[in-house]
Amino acid sequence: MDHRKMAALHVMEKLEQAGYQAYLVGGCVRDECLGKIPQDYDVTTDARPEQVMEIFEKVVPTGIRHGTVMVVEQKVPVEVTTFRTDGKYSNHRQPEKVEFVQSLKEDLKRRDFTMNAMAKDRNGRIIDYFGGRKDLDEGIIRTVGDPSERFQEDALRMLRAVRFANQFRFVLDPATEEGICRHRDKGGCLSVERVTAELNKMFDADTVSHGFRLLFQTRLIHFLPPFCRWDLPDEAVKAMPQIDPIKNRTVRWAYLLCLCGTRPDQLAERLRQLKLSKKENKEISACFSLASRWKGPDDSMSREDWCRILLEEGPEAVANAANLARLTSPDGQWIPSDSQLAEWWNGLKIHQARELKVSGRDFIRHCGWEKGPWIGKVLQVLLEQVALGHLPNEKEILLKEGCKIGALHQK
């Protein structure tokens, strides 16, 4: 058995021995029903946080205000949350206060979707008050209770509905979908960070076209920050299923930016508004910008042109951009395949300037010019020439050629 599950069962056993109820709950119960391995095993109990802290030796009060503590059992962290109901919600985001309760049913009732509102006891018996099992079997995302109420309480649930529908390739129950359409404007209350975190989770799924379709079909995306500020195309956008075999997050983000009608001159500002990490920004930007530089069959590029781009941008960025361009160019057939690009890359004599038999310092000494941007230019040209086999990688020859090139950049 999975050591994380063993640890969770151990925690449940100790809680029961102390006279409390304890169940596995939420995502782990759902995933086990689907025959998938859960990411983590969460425990719910009627013991209050301070009572949980008394029972276990190692406890970290991670979210004590919401009744959550982290018990470390057999060196494995297990999240334990007290049965609770959520009080009145403010601003469609968070309950003002939570209340601890004694009933499992009350706790399950506050959860978002029927498939996430099941519990499992230590013997593997499933407790399912809201028809979660049936909805799982039929592939339906359905809110627990009235969708209008549930989405008004917490607008993030609308985006979670889309994320789960995408992840499991489920449909939205018609009333749930209608609830999203009716309350999509509340999406404006969410923070950019929560929206992008949810989208990033969506991009980790095997396929994404279903999620993209739902985002645009329900028009939810028109109301989510920062997209609500972007003047999105008015007609319903149709995502292409060809995005699905591309598992890469960077390409998926860049593709979403394309679906949002982003022009190259808008890219930097839109990326800034998405508040992604620096690394993500850089990669998405390279992918989008490169792909939009390649216009179409008319500027047909030779093998050498592609090799130059590979040397300048690196094989990963070019492969990402090629994937994006194949999706977004009307006739993407002229773009070399991944295997063609890999073959050209592998066929190059060298791949990086530091493999050259000369360095920037050699040039400063040999040519007698001040240090400056000319060195980078010289090295890049020599890298291309040597990589393509137009010059041998020999110090004397490279110094001579490099000084000629440097002289051009001195003016």
Q: Which residues bind ligand ATP (CB under 6 A)?
A: 26-27, 39, 111-112, 116-117, 154, 156-157
Query: How far from 177 is each of 158, 215, 301, 388, CA to CA, in Å?
Result: 9, 11, 46, 56
Q: Give whichever of 30 and 326 is closer to ligand ATP, judged by the CB atom.
A: 30
In whole angstroms, the minimum distance from the beta carbon of 63 to ligand ATP comes to 12
Sort strands 89-90 and 59-63 into parallel, antiparallel or unpaired. Answer: unpaired
How many Å apart are CA 35 and CA 22, to the nearest integer? 22
Residue 156 site contact among Mg ion, ligand ATP, none (CB < 5 to 8 Å, cut-off depends on kind): ligand ATP
Nearest to 202 by CA among 221, 182, 189, 183: 221
How many Å apart are CA 356 and CA 387, to the nearest integer? 9
Is residue 358 helix, strand or coil? coil
Residue 73 site contact among Mg ion, ligand ATP, none (CB < 5 to 8 Å, cut-off depends on kind): none
Total number of residues that touch Mg ion (CB under 5 A): 1
In whole angstroms, the minimum distance from the beta carbon of 28 to ligand ATP comes to 7
Residue 267 site contact among Mg ion, ligand ATP, none (CB < 5 to 8 Å, cut-off depends on kind): none
Provide the mask over 1-40, with x wherever binding to Mg ion is found by CB under 5 A and - wherever it is not.
--------------------------x-------------
Q: Give whichever of 206 and 304 is closer to ligand ATP, judged by the CB atom.
A: 206
Instruction: Render the burial of 219-235: b for 16+ CB within 10 Å, e for the rest.
Output: bbbbbbbbbeebebeee
77 binds Mg ion per the rule CB under 5 A: no
Residue 116 site contact among ligand ATP, Mg ion, none (CB < 5 to 8 Å, cut-off depends on kind): ligand ATP
In whole angstroms, the minimum distance from the beta carbon of 143 to ligand ATP comes to 9
294-353 residues in contact with Mg ion (CB under 5 A) are none
Nearest to 198 by CA among 239, 228, 248, 157: 157
In whole angstroms, the minimum distance from the beta carbon of 270 to Mg ion comes to 30
Q: Give whichever of 155 and 271 is closer to ligand ATP, judged by the CB atom.
A: 155
Nearest to 180 by CA among 200, 197, 160: 160
How many Å apart are CA 100 and CA 402, to the nearest integer? 74
State how far Cα 71 lies from the chain centre.
28
In whole angstroms, the minimum distance from the beta carbon of 150 to ligand ATP comes to 8
Q: Give whichever of 86 and 185 is closer to ligand ATP, judged by the CB atom.
A: 86
How many Å apart are CA 184 and CA 182, to the nearest integer? 6
Q: Give whichever of 42 and 401 is closer to Mg ion, judged by the CB atom.
A: 42
Beta bridge partners of 76: 73
User: By Cβ distance, which residue is nearest to Mg ion?
Assistant: 27
Query: How far from 178 is each of 98, 106, 283, CA to CA, in Å?
Result: 28, 25, 36
Residue 79 site contact among Mg ion, ligand ATP, none (CB < 5 to 8 Å, cut-off depends on kind): none
Sort strands 140-141 and 171-172 into parallel, antiparallel or unpaired. Answer: parallel
Q: Give whichever of 156 and 214 is closer to ligand ATP, judged by the CB atom.
A: 156
In whole angstroms, the minimum distance from the beta carbon of 127 to ligand ATP comes to 13
Sort strands 76-82 and 42-45 into parallel, antiparallel or unpaired. Answer: parallel
In whole angstroms, the minimum distance from the beta carbon of 12 to Mg ion comes to 17
Q: Give whichever of 168 and 255 is closer to ligand ATP, judged by the CB atom.
A: 168
Residue pair 128/108 in contact by the 8 Å Cβ criterion = no
